[in-house]
Structure 1
Amino acid sequence: MESKSKDKDILAHTTIADVYCAAKRLEGVIVKTRLIESAFFSELSENQVYLKPENLQLTGAFKLRGAYNKISQLTEEEKKRGVITASAGNHAQGVAYAAQRLGVRAVICMPATTPILKVEATKARGAEVVLFGDGFDDAYAHSLELQKEHGYVYIHPFNDLQVLLGQGTAALEIIEALKDVDAILCPIGGGGFASGVALATKRISPQVKVIGVEPENAACMKAALAAGHTTTLASADTVADGCAVKTAGDLTYAFCRAYLDGIITVSEIEIMNALLSLIEKHKLVAEGAGVLSLAALTKLPFKGKKVVAILSGGNIDISTISALIDKALIARGRVFAFAVQLPDKPGQLLNVSRILAEENANVIRLDHDQTKVTDSFKKVVLTVTVETHNHKHIERIIAALEKNGYDITQVY
């Protein structure tokens, strides 16, 4: 009860002036990322879509805004104690950058599963990294133990007023650049970004819709709003690792409940498809959490509006992005793999190649293995991977192979 009363008090006394003060502190520290109009995503969603590329921010994500706003206001005594936080990566780099710039020691607890790119980038900014647990919640619990043991100042990744005010400065830039914006899509992990963006937007232009976007597999804020209080998910397993949070913050819950117009959830394949489209159409790289807003564009309950989709971050390692692209290509029918048993005699491989060429399928991988076990020692197994146009193209290829007497097994 005391916590709810405190949150209501914070809500009542937080004004747009607080966001402008945060923006003042961030002058000369962050990049004011410019809006990019997207013809592709506009046509896809039947709205006029603009991208807010926070993946091009210093440290590669919006998180620098909140981290710097918080740390810059610490007292000299607090700065001497040093700061600690837990993060899946982007907040870690924001805290590390801000602490290094302000001459403060920083300790960052990160899940042991954090992509190596984010770990190394955090270390490169002078922070001490402690790897612990399988996800954010494990790392967070460990960071609290270390804070208690060493007396560090805690810089929460989302459930902190000064952090969310810093994140809200992104909304100031959006409204300044696109004064007649109708809606803003903002990803949600623990809710700090959405809280700040929604607060700033509603205090300046209350008619603008602010819609949060969560992965279906980690929709902690949607669950909290449905329950009427913060609740803990059983799991948060998603390719959007930056939003893999089981429990929303109590403060961010209060802000989202007060200012958000709604939440859209997106599937894993929708996230991967959005990532692939962003790379193909805009030549921009983002992480899974970074494209949540793009994944939600086709689910908007309106058409013909000016919509800003925030790309929250771009810190993704090559192996991860390669795996996500491969899965998205398979899901779209852009890659097709099949296995077939062939008579072990000359000309069979050439005949399969001819059929594929006639169907405009480009072979990208081929395995002709005489040692694989088949139903006859006179047969060999051929496994072929081809580039295709879509699922209908795959159906035509299968039909052509079957017409020529080949009984194939689809691998993917």
Structure 2
Amino acid sequence: MTAPDLADIHAAADRIAGAVLRTPFLHSRTLSEIIGTEVWLKFENLQFTAAYKERGALNKLLQLNADERARGVIAASAGNHAQAVAYHGRRLGIPVTIVMPLSTPLVKVGQTEEHGARVILHGERFDDAYAHARELEAAEGLVFVHPFDDPDIVAGTGTIAIEMLDEVPDLDMLVVPIGGGGLISGMAIAGRALRPDIEVIGVEAELYPSMKNVVEGGHGAIGGDTLAEGIAVKVPGQLTRGIIRDHVDRIDLVAEKDLEHAVALLVGIEKTVVEGAGAAGLALLLAQPERFRGKKVATVLCGGNIDTHLLANVLIRELVRCGRIARLRIGAQDRPGALAAITACFHAAGVNILETNHQRIFSKLPAKDTVIEVECEARDARAIDLLVEQLEAKGFAVESPRPDEVPRRRG
């Protein structure tokens, strides 16, 4: 396979124009103030299928000949690529088959079927689904549409960088999520052709350093449950790894807590829903702001397909991290008036009690004592700290564990 060049990417831009949204590319004043740099966001989560994948998929489909269109296409995917191929396949009258792992959430299966695709569930892992898709490709004479390791897919993703540099030509840096490498490959080719001095930084989830291992010779362990499942790729592309070696300055890793923080901030500040993979670039900026100070930095919010229950968990965990919600374990003598004294402290501190639980049995305290677990909500972390100080001043022993910390005894 030969990597596309800038001419191929411009041709892709002309080809998909009008059928794929030219998404907003906006300066975030608040995030810029938080990070200490000039931050620009490309809102690819606003595409019809809520991800950038439409660009590459449509560019590929539009170049099929009449015979290939009639035979139909097949893809293996449990996420955004599946919906992109299904949606544009139906628009173009091309039969689409998608092979998904058995573990694919039913909502994603349903969304793909709603776009008119034939969905086949096969295997426990993506690798199993991929292998079965290649078997069906040969058996049924279908055209395989790879999610990232294809020059037409890569050229389609490069159109994002063309749009960004068309609007803000003096960008210093592109920070781009990496899964299989299709997105950053296209953007790096276009970015470097238009601005040879622009820096291109790739971002992978800490649990899936697949491309970093391949390109930089690392040996990071691969696997685990990541919020950024869209870039949780075990084996990166062959075409894309070569492009990344030639055009990408470095690959950085982000921890799960930073991915969660970025998703929550985008909801709170930009009022936009972004999946974990889509927030990876911002997660890096937030985790290592000193590396970007004084730069004009752009990142791609490459997808917005996140389960609503998972999003709710992320947002609540963020409230806990920033001290707005806390769980206190308060040791007290089991006697009348103890609970009233405790709740009086909550009232004085202006902290709202969400839930309480008395624990008399499963406790290391003396038999005459009790542990009262209280989940509470406050206006900020300082209010919780003041509450703890008041409780301790009245003789109560308080533990206030927070996420990513070892539970610590206070008092």
TM-score normalised by the chain length of structure 1: 0.89
> 1:3 aligns to what?
none
> 1:252 aligns to what?
240
Matched to 1:265, the amino acid is: L
> 2:18 aligns to what?
28
- CA–CA distance in 1 between the matches of 2:101 and 2:49? 19
Moved more, 176-185 or 382-391: 382-391
Per-residue deviation, 1:353 = 1.5
Output aligned runs, 1:10-409, within 5 Å.
10-11=2-3, 14-227=4-217, 234-235=222-223, 237-298=225-286, 299=288, 301-368=291-358, 381-388=371-378, 394-409=384-399
Moved more, 282-291 or 136-145: 136-145
- CA–CA distance in 2 between the matches of 1:88 and 1:390? 39
Aligned 8 A contact 1:233 1:246 in 2: no
Matched to 1:285, the amino acid is: V
Matched to 1:100, the amino acid is: R
> 2:405 aligns to what?
none
- CA–CA distance in 2 between the matches of 1:315 and 1:69? 22
Matched to 1:122, the amino acid is: T
Moved more, 167-176 or 81-90: 81-90
- CA–CA distance in 2 between the matches of 1:176 and 1:236? 39
Q: How many residues align?
A: 400
Q: 1:131 to 1:204 in 2, by over 3 A?
A: same
Per-residue deviation, 1:113 = 3.8
- What secondary structure does 1:31 align onto? coil
Identity of aligned residues (%): 39
TM-score normalised by the chain length of structure 2: 0.89
Aligned 8 A contact 1:232 1:247 in 2: no
Per-residue deviation, 1:131 = 3.2
- What secondary structure does 1:218 align onto? coil
| Structure 2 alignment gaps of length 5 or more | 403-411
| Structure 1 alignment gaps of length 5 or more | 1-6
- CA–CA distance in 2 between the matches of 1:288 and 1:366? 32
- What secondary structure does 2:330 align onto? strand
- What secondary structure does 1:122 align onto? helix
- CA–CA distance in 1 between the matches of 2:142 and 2:377? 54
Aligned 8 A contact 1:269 1:331 in 2: no
Q: C-alpha offsets along residues 173-194 of structure 1, whole Å, 9 cap, x if unaligned?
A: 1011111111111111100000
Moved more, 303-312 or 187-196: 303-312
- CA–CA distance in 2 between the matches of 1:330 and 1:356? 17
- What secondary structure does 1:245 align onto? coil
Q: 1:138 to 1:45 in 2, by over 3 A?
A: farther
Per-residue deviation, 1:275 = 0.7
Matched to 1:222, the amino acid is: K
- CA–CA distance in 2 between the matches of 1:190 and 1:57? 20
- CA–CA distance in 2 between the matches of 1:128 and 1:363? 50
- What secondary structure does 1:217 align onto? coil
Matched to 1:214, the amino acid is: E
- CA–CA distance in 1 between the matches of 2:26 and 2:356? 41
- What secondary structure does 2:165 align onto? helix
Aligned 8 A contact 2:75 2:144 in 1: yes
Q: 1:76 to 1:93 in 2, by over 3 A?
A: same
Aligned 8 A contact 1:225 1:253 in 2: yes
> 1:4 aligns to what?
none
- What secondary structure does 2:207 align onto? helix
Per-residue deviation, 1:204 = 1.4
- CA–CA distance in 1 between the matches of 2:202 and 2:141? 35
- CA–CA distance in 1 between the matches of 2:39 and 2:363? 54
- CA–CA distance in 2 between the matches of 1:135 and 1:326? 30
Q: 1:333 to 1:201 in 2, by over 3 A?
A: same
- CA–CA distance in 2 between the matches of 1:253 and 1:151? 29
Per-residue deviation, 1:264 = 1.8
- CA–CA distance in 2 between the matches of 1:254 and 1:360? 58
- CA–CA distance in 1 between the matches of 2:269 and 2:295? 21
Moved more, 177-186 or 358-367: 358-367
- CA–CA distance in 2 between the matches of 1:134 and 1:396? 50
Per-residue deviation, 1:27 = 1.2
Q: 1:196 to 1:33 in 2, by over 3 A?
A: same
Q: C-alpha offsets along residues 361-389 of structure 1, whole Å, 9 cap, x if unaligned?
A: 22222335788788677665532111246
